[in-house]
Amino acid sequence: MTYLERVKLHLQPLASPSPQDMRRALISLNTKLEELLPFLHSTDKKPYYRRLLFQNEEVELLVMNWSQLSCSPHDHGDSQGWIQVISGSTINTIYSCKHGELPEALFSRKEQNGSIFYAPKAGIHRMKANGGHDLVTLHLYSPPIQNMKVYDLKACAACIVSDECGAWWPEEQHQKIKEMKLKKPGAQPLEKPKQKR
């Protein structure tokens, strides 16, 4: 049985999976780096190269291999998921965000080869390789990601991106579904100018 056949066997039966169902399914794949090598491509211009390995209406499975660039803080739209480190290590930074404000970093954690960590619905995080060029991660999301929001902390902005865009600020206009201006955390709202009498 090929790796992709095994993936289909384990993921096709998932229906409205709970976080625990998804975690069990990801672990049951027993994925080895050697099985993913045919799907990896190097990239230095983006934070990662990604390849869709499986998708139906319930779940999607992606493999990503990382450059030394950090992805932007982002959520996963209306999806939740699990991320498994297959090779290397990553620094995963978790953010909090109030409506209309930029996200603020809460903490960072090093996740190493074999780690599996949860990405909750509406959760915001940023990942980057922790040295070396060998970070490979496997991502299982439910439902398949749509309307991912990416944040630009320097420009005080957020953008809902198209499915073809990754977790970085889109370079092409057609990748921007909706762009929003945000305020810095704790900043006072802009006052309306007083009307002249």
**From the annotation, which residues make up the binding site?**
74, 76, 125
Q: 110 lies in a domain? A: yes
The per-residue pLDDT for 129 is 95
Q: 134 lies in a domain? A: yes
- Contact partners, residue 14, CB within 8 Å, separation at least 6: 21, 22, 25, 58, 59, 142
> What is the DSSP track for 93-121?
EEEE--TTB--EEEEEEEEETT-EEEE-T
Summarize the confidence of residues 150-157 as an average pLDDT: 95
Summarize the confidence of residues 168-184 as an average pLDDT: 93
Q: 112 lies in a domain? A: yes
How far apart are alpha carbons 151 and 62 in whole angstroms?
21
Q: 160 lies in a domain? A: no
**From the annotation, which residues make up the binding site for Fe cation?**
74, 76, 125
The percent of residues in the chain predicted with pLDDT above 90, rounded, is 85
Decide if pLDDT at 104 tops 90.
Answer: yes
The percent of residues in the chain predicted with pLDDT above 70, rounded, is 94
Summarize the confidence of residues 166-180 as an average pLDDT: 94
Lowest-confidence region among 53-57, 98-102, 109-113, 120-124: 98-102
Q: 171 lies in a domain? A: no
Summarize the confidence of residues 37-50 as an average pLDDT: 92
DSSP 185: T
Pairing status of strand 149-152 against strand 136-142: unpaired
> In total, how many domains does the chain have?
1
Q: 94 lies in a domain? A: yes
Q: 192 lies in a domain? A: no
Q: What is the CATH number of the domain that holds 29?
A: 2.60.120.10
Domain hosting 46: range is 3-146
The per-residue pLDDT for 133 is 67
Q: How confident is the model at residue 40 (pLDDT cuts 50, 70, 90)?
A: very high
CB 157 within 8 A of CB 73: no
Q: 157 lies in a domain? A: no
User: 0.95 exceeded by the pTM?
Assistant: no
